[in-house]
Amino acid sequence: MNASPEHQRILLDIADLDRRIAQAERARTKPTQAARISELVAIRQEQLRELTALTGTRDDVRTELKRIESDVALVEQRRARDAQRLAAATNPKEAQALEHEIASLARRQSDLEDAQLDVMGRVEDADAAVAAQQALLDTTTTEGTALTAQAKADVAAATDLGAQLARDREAVAATVPAPLLAEYTRRAANSAGAALLTRGTCEGCRIVLPGTDLAEIRRAAEDAVVSCPECGCILVRTEESGL
């Protein structure tokens, strides 16, 4: 196949645009934040499960505290009632029974108040654990929200860039003869498509060509479309090709 050196050089611009289009597509479909966002999603789910468990524990302890507080209130009411009855009692036996009950209630109230203090401490610990876990969750959520927003912005920018590059490629490709463009497209499926030959090295695969291959390329006509024997891309020759 033959094509003018000028048209062959244009293939380098198309190859560069194709490379940049591929980069933009990767940035659009796989933003750099994606891995961390997925990691944060898993972390957040685990933190939510832990928060749910801690909240359940705290609620149970609060329920226990309310029960004890209710029991304390009932004992206080009974002591107050018995004290009133004792003050009005005229029967010695009744008065003695009331005194015994009041003393028993006093011990009961003391035990309940001790238990109340213990549960209050557990409530404080549970509240602190819930608050600490919520803080962890908030930190994870904040980071995830920021990364997601940045990823969306990057995807939008990559989408716009890809569209612009595609328009640029279309304009540049229109200046290349259809057979040459078709040949480039065929080769680009498995290689860079087109690359410079620089000082005996294919810039597409970065391999230094053997002397025999270079000698064959050297003998080729100026408008001949030559290939890299390693990667198969079109080799564009310039004064820096080392021929």
Residue 49's pLDDT band, with cuts at 50, 70 and 90, is very high
Q: How confident is the model at residue 24 (pLDDT cuts 50, 70, 90)?
A: very high
Per the domain annotation, does 207 fall within a domain? yes
75 and 167 share one domain = yes
187 and 217: one domain? yes
User: Would 214 be classed as within a structural domain?
Assistant: yes
Tell me the C-alpha distance between 101 and 148, whole Å: 67
Calculate the CA 173 to chain-centre distance: 38
Q: Which runs of E-coded beta strand occur in the chain? A: 194-198, 201-202, 207-208, 226-227, 234-237
Same domain, 35 and 125: yes
223, 5 contact by CB (below 8 A): yes
For the chain, how far is it from start to end, CA to CA, in angstroms?
20
As to burial, measured by CB atoms within 10 angstroms (0-12 exposed, 13-18 middle, 19+ buried), residue 191 is: buried
What is the domain range of residue 84? 27-173
Shared-domain flag, residues 161 and 183: no
Domain boundary among 144, 173, 202: 173
Identify the pLDDT of residue 85.
87
Same domain, yes or no: 125 and 183: no
* Helix, strand or coil, per DSSP, at residue 132: helix
State how many domains the chain has: 2
pLDDT in tens, 163-221: 999 999 999 999 999 999 999 999 999 999 999 999 999 999 999 999 999 999 999 99
Instruction: Specify if 210 maps to a domain.
Output: yes
- Whether residue 147 lies inside any domain: the answer is yes
Name the maximum alpha-carbon separation found in the chain. Answer: 135
Output the domain CATH number for residue 34.
1.10.287.1700
Tokens describing residue 152: 């969306």
SS3 83: helix
133, 153, 173: which is the final residue of a domain? 173
CB 204 within 8 A of CB 233: yes
Among the three residues 139, 156, 173, which one is the final residue of a domain in this structure?
173
pLDDT digits (tens, 9 = 90+) for 181-197: 999 999 999 999 999 99
- CB-based contact 202:233 (threshold 8 Å): yes
Whether residue 69 is found in the same domain as residue 157: yes
pLDDT of residue 239: 87
Half-sphere exposure of 94 (CA within 13 A, CB side): 10
Q: Describe the crossing of helices 178-188 and 5-29 by its angle, rounded to 10 degrees.
A: 40
Is it the case that residue 243 has pLDDT exceeding 80? no
Residue 22 lies in a domain: no
**Same structural domain, 161 and 41:** yes
Q: What is the pLDDT of residues 86-109, one digit of tens each?
A: 888 778 888 888 889 999 999 999
pLDDT-derived band at 143 (thresholds 50, 70, 90) equals very high
Do the domain assignments include residue 202? yes
> Within this chain, do residues 141 and 206 fall inside the same structural domain, yes or no?
no
Does residue 242 fall inside a structural domain?
A: no
Q: Could you tell me the pTM of the whole model?
A: 0.73
